[in-house]
Amino acid sequence: MEHLYDKLVKYSVSDYYGFHMPGHKRQQITGAEKLPYEIDITEIEGFDDLHHAEDLFIELQEYAAEVFHAEETHYLVNGSTVGLLSAVLGCTGYGDRILMARNCHKSVYNAVDLNGLIPEYVYPEFDETTDLNGEIRVEKIEQILEKDRVISREAGIKAVVITSPTYDGVVSDIERISEVVHKYGIPLIVDEAHGAHFGFHEYFPQNANVRGADIVIHSLHKTLPSLTQTALLHMNGKLVDRNSVRRYLHMLQSSSPSYILMASIDECIRLVDEERERVFKPYVEMLQQLRKEIGKLKNLQLLETMQYDASKIVISVRGRLSGKELQEILLENYHLQMEMAAGSYVIAMTGPGDTQEGMNRLLNALRNLDKRLDEVLQGNRKQDKDLDEVLSGNRKMDAATMKKDPGFCRHPLIPAERVVESAKVKGRKGLALPWQEAVGKVSLEFVYLYPPGIPIVVPGERVSEEAVQQILDYEKNGFTIEGTKKKDRLEVLKNG
């Protein structure tokens, strides 16, 4: 048996380079050199208690609020997940209605389930040219809220939740959305987990605190130099019942918060505050140069939309390779680990912890692969065995295959038919059926890809042919479907 610690040490000295979270990229760029055992303590005299702060943690969280331009900030050691759960539960009562983006993280869906909420969905625009689910349009939100106000003033929508930036880096217009949402007296919760770096350099957008959001959740560990699981929850304005949110934070967050993780949060905030230019100036310069050079490639495409987080390097070989195949090539042939593969693209996450050597390796790998693809397409390379090995099915790295666009998993988010609220299917008798036999039935389970954890099917929804086709396409292209108890089967309502 290989032990986790030994495996981590072995990996740490290998030449694999990670274009994925955490943002510190396994580099020692903060002043916290004495992690972890010798400073791993509990709530002892002089070190305060996060759940009953009297001095130290009051000061540290006020400092965090100042740096992130929030009115009130809380440390999170259970990741953004506990922040999203607390935000949604704290802003709603049992059985309330909520407006949420369909591409919200699964933790938002779990909050809906826990509080028996009735969700209304707003869907992101699907960009056919990039295969990316785009921004949440303010017009769609206003249309839903206006309709809701006309139909039911008393039992209306109690909160709005959106994700910006998305996993792919798409940014919505938070300022305009917040103005519309506030017009109806409703708080706006922004899952800005992937945007903790926003506002620290003009190359990136401003964070949602300064753009009008009432609650903002940041995953420090995703794009900043902080340890995994570290995050922040910010509150602003008068529309949020702050005591209710605090109550859920105390209820859901570990009663023994790690002082190592909290020290990591503090060091990260101190770094981006006191040494902002030293940290971000060289990083942004490297990033700009990398994006410029990738943009020159012939067969590999750098994807982006109008409003975009440039820290995300989204690379497509649309019509040539699937995202999964591209990920495997970069890992096996170049020892570069991407954050995620989607249908037709991969995501390389960058952060202040990245090095020039790492970015050069990515650029050189992409240049080399671009050249090899060009040779194949021109018929000058008859065989490429190491590339053939990662292709799915019977496909080969030849001109005929590469010139045929297979349309890898290009699926927008599918409008869903809710039959019953997810909380009401608990304990109901179910039957596990193969995907195709589940069409038309009411699901008792989530179905999603992780990452990013956005559901294709939600409990209580009728399973559509489009959803099943999407699931089958993902499986065909080597993606793992999660959320179900049994592989390749979905538990559905027995008599529904």
Taking only the tens place, the pLDDT of each residue in 131-163 is 888 899 999 999 999 999 887 767 799 999 999
Superfamily name with CATH number, domain 417-493: Molybdopterin biosynthesis moea protein, domain 2 (3.90.105.10)
Per-residue pLDDT band at 224 (split at 50, 70, 90)? very high
Q: Which residues contact 51 (CB under 8 A, 6 or more apart)?
A: 250, 253, 255, 257
Per-residue pLDDT band at 112 (split at 50, 70, 90)? very high
Strand pairing partners for 493?
A: 430
**Average pLDDT of 208-237?**
98
**Average pLDDT of 412-436?**
90
Domain boundaries, the chain: 37-274, 276-402, 417-493
Instruction: Please give the angle made by the CA atoms of 401, 404 and 409, to the nearest 5 degrees.
Output: 105
Per-residue pLDDT band at 419 (split at 50, 70, 90)? very high
Q: What is the pLDDT of residues 274-332, one digit of tens each?
A: 999 999 999 999 999 999 999 999 999 999 888 899 999 999 987 678 888 899 999 99
| Residue whose token pair is 């309709």 | 147
For the chain, report the end-to-end CA distance as a whole number of angstroms. 46
Q: How remote is the C-alpha of 303 from its chain's centroid?
A: 17
Residue 161 Cα distances to 96, 97, 108, 190, 311, angstroms: 14, 12, 8, 6, 23
- Cβ atoms of 464 and 416 within 8 Å: the answer is yes
- Position 155 scores a pLDDT of 75
Question: In this structure, how many other beta carbons lie within 10 angstroms of the beta carbon of residue 346?
Answer: 27
| Amino acid identity for residue 265 in this structure | I
Which is higher by pLDDT, 396 or 320?
320
Q: Domain 276-402: which CATH class? A: alpha beta
In the numeric block, which tokens belong to residue 438?
């589940």
**Average pLDDT of 223-244?**
97
Residue 402 pLDDT more than 60?
no
Peptide bond before 434: cis, by omega within 30 degrees of 0?
no
Per-residue b/e over 452-471, b at no fewer than 16 CB within 10 Å? bbbbbbbbbbbbbeebbebb
Most confident of 39-43, 72-76, 124-128, 407-411: 72-76
Per-residue b/e over 145-162, b at no fewer than 16 CB within 10 Å? beebeeeeeeebbbbbbb
Q: Closest Cα to residue 412, out of 463, 459, 467, 449?
A: 467
Question: The pTM is what?
Answer: 0.91
What architecture (CATH level 2) is domain 37-274? 3-Layer(aba) Sandwich (3.40)
pLDDT > 90 fraction of the chain, expressed in percent and rounded: 68
Per-residue b/e over 97-127, b at no fewer than 16 CB within 10 Å? bbbbbbbbbbbbbbbbbbbbbbbbbbbbeeb
Per-residue pLDDT band at 447 (split at 50, 70, 90)? very high
pLDDT > 70 fraction of the chain, expressed in percent and rounded: 89
Q: What does the alpha-carbon distance between residue 80 and residue 470 come to, in Å, rounded to a whole number?
A: 28
What is residue 244's DSSP assignment? H
Q: Which residues contact 313 (CB under 8 A, 6 or more apart)?
A: 19, 290, 291, 294, 302, 347, 348, 349, 350, 362
In the numeric block, which tokens belong to residue 194?
């992937």
